[in-house]
Amino acid sequence: MFVPTVLTMTVVFSYRIVVSCCALCAVGVLSLTHPAAAHARADPVAPSPAASQQPLLYRSGTQVRLHPGVPEVPEVTALSWLVADADTGDVLAAYDAHRPLPPASTLKTLFALTVLPTLPADARHTVTAQELAGIGPGSSLVGVREGLTYRVSDLWKGVFLHSGNDAVHVLASLNGGWETTARQMQATARSLGALDTHVVSPDGYDAPGQVSSAYDLAVFGRAGLHNTDFARYCATAESTFPGDDGSYEIANTNRLLTGHGGVPAYPGLIGVKNGYTSGAGNTLVAAARHNGRSLVVTVMHPQQGGFAVYEEARSLLDWGFAAAGHIAPVGSLLPPRPLMSRSLPTTVQAARPGPDDGWLTTGTIAGAVGTGAGAVALALRLRGRRSTRT
């Protein structure tokens, strides 16, 4: 029978050999699950080059992989910028993509991603004075009035077209409050893989510690374009807004979309959101579509001021459409794979490996070590039995 055979073999071999074999098995499993560890044993001085290489988008300066014949990236003055394919998420080029900077009203993209799904567009609400309290001085306002009744869709037009902080305050109140909304926005950012963003004021108003990055804002813009309501609102150039005496006209403050103020509209523009504060300077997330390809561009704080944010976004869009399909990406806007797997038992849940990191799950390692420990215990028990029989 199988069991007696195992017992006989175990008794014959010294328990020291069994222990040694188990230890070697454990080491072997660890070396298989972590190639870098095996490399460290072979060459403890020189670490793996791949392990020490910093991802391109986390490096300073311009990151791009130009092929022969592809035009050079245009020179712009923005402190941070990024160009990406809005469909695939491939980042075509970037400059200081993860640099933390104040986002101004471009943070409203994250606000919309978070709150849009929670409030029915056709719901009506009468605004209270409390909901309009605490709006920062100098904020952009669409003209929300205490005592007037608005549809939720009207308030969203106020957010997207006129960057109305008053509309944001009312929507945040309907969503559970200012602090609750900020926490939810933070969670939404993390779920999208946007790790540079810290939310303090959901309307994007300058606040201590509030930052985002060109990378994160591009993530929000791309995600928004895949939301039907978001995409419709951010592409609306003009509309009406309820007032004390009927309604009045409002226009989108994104000049690349409307062509207002002497800034030519960009052909094929489909949104997304602009912003300005004294602390952030001008910021812009812009997306356009040409010949079946959609690009999203983020520009943060051009040093020339004025309307330079639109012209720098224009030049980056032009370059992106010329270069797309002819260069290798330098990164991706897609979120990383989930760190936890719900299919695994809670006792062995572990980080899922990336394609190049060489790690198996901690559960696998723990299982191997546990197996080795069990074998050691079995050997000791058998040795004890052998000793009593002699």
Domain ranges across the chain: 2-53+359-389, 56-332
Residue with the larger pLDDT of the pair 23 and 105: 105
pLDDT band at 337 (very low <50, low <70, confident <90, very high): confident
- Cα separation, 97 vs 64, in Å, equals 12
Question: From the candidates 140, 153, 163, 212, which is the catalytic residue?
Answer: 163
pLDDT band at 189 (very low <50, low <70, confident <90, very high): very high
**Is 108 marked active-site?**
yes
Share of the chain above pLDDT 70, in %: 73
**Is 105 marked active-site?**
yes
Per residue, the 3-state secondary structure of the chain, as one string, reads CHHHHHHHHHHHCCHHHHHHHHHHHHHHHHHHHCHHHHHHHHCCCCCCHHHHCCCHHHCCCEEEECCCCCCCCCCCCCCEEEEEECCCCEEEEEECCCCCECCHHHHHHHHHHHHHHHCCCCCEEECCCHHHCCCCCCCCCCCCCCCCEEEHHHHHHHHHCCCCHHHHHHHHHHCCCHHHHHHHHHHHHHHCCCCCCECCCCCCCCCCCCEECHHHHHHHHHHHHCCHHHHHHHCCCEEEEEECCEEEEEECCCHHHHCCCCCCCCCCEEEEEEEEECCCEEEEEEEEEECCEEEEEEEECCCCCCCHHHHHHHHHHHHHHHHCCCCECCEECCCCCCCCCCCCCHHHCCCCCCCCCCCCCHHHHHHHHHHHHHHHHHHHHHHHHHHHHC
pLDDT in tens, 234-253: 999 999 999 998 999 999 99
- Average pLDDT, integer, range 360-379: 40
- Average pLDDT, integer, range 296-321: 96
pLDDT in tens, 343-364: 333 323 233 333 333 333 334 3
Question: From the candidates 105, 212, 239, 294, which is the catalytic residue?
Answer: 105
Which residues have C-beta within 8 Å of that of residue 203, sequence separation ≥ 6? 105, 107, 108, 111, 136, 139, 165, 168, 169
pLDDT score for 338: 67
What type of residue sits at position 344? L
pLDDT in tens, 76-125: 999 999 999 999 999 999 999 999 999 999 999 999 999 999 999 999 99
Does residue 15 register a pLDDT over 90?
no
Residue with tokens 């920062």: 136
- Cα separation, 108 vs 233, in Å, equals 12
Which residues have C-beta within 8 Å of that of residue 226, sequence separation ≥ 6? none
- Average pLDDT, integer, range 71-77: 96
- Average pLDDT, integer, range 320-329: 96
Which token pair is 112? 């919309």
CB 134 within 8 A of CB 178: yes
Question: From the candidates 108, 140, 153, 212, which is the catalytic residue?
Answer: 108
Which residues have C-beta within 8 Å of that of residue 181, sequence separation ≥ 6? 111, 114, 115, 172, 175, 202
pLDDT score for 64: 97
* CATH entry, 56-332, from 3.40.710.10, 2.40.50.1070, 3.20.20.70, 3.90.1170.50: 3.40.710.10
- Cα separation, 227 vs 113, in Å, equals 8
Calculate helix-pair angle for 214-225, 108-115, nearest 10 degrees. 40
Which residues have C-beta within 8 Å of that of residue 246, sequence separation ≥ 6? none
Q: Is 354 exposed, middle or buried (0-12, 13-18, 19+ CB in 10 A)?
A: exposed
Its pTM stands at 0.75
- Cα separation, 259 vs 266, in Å, equals 8
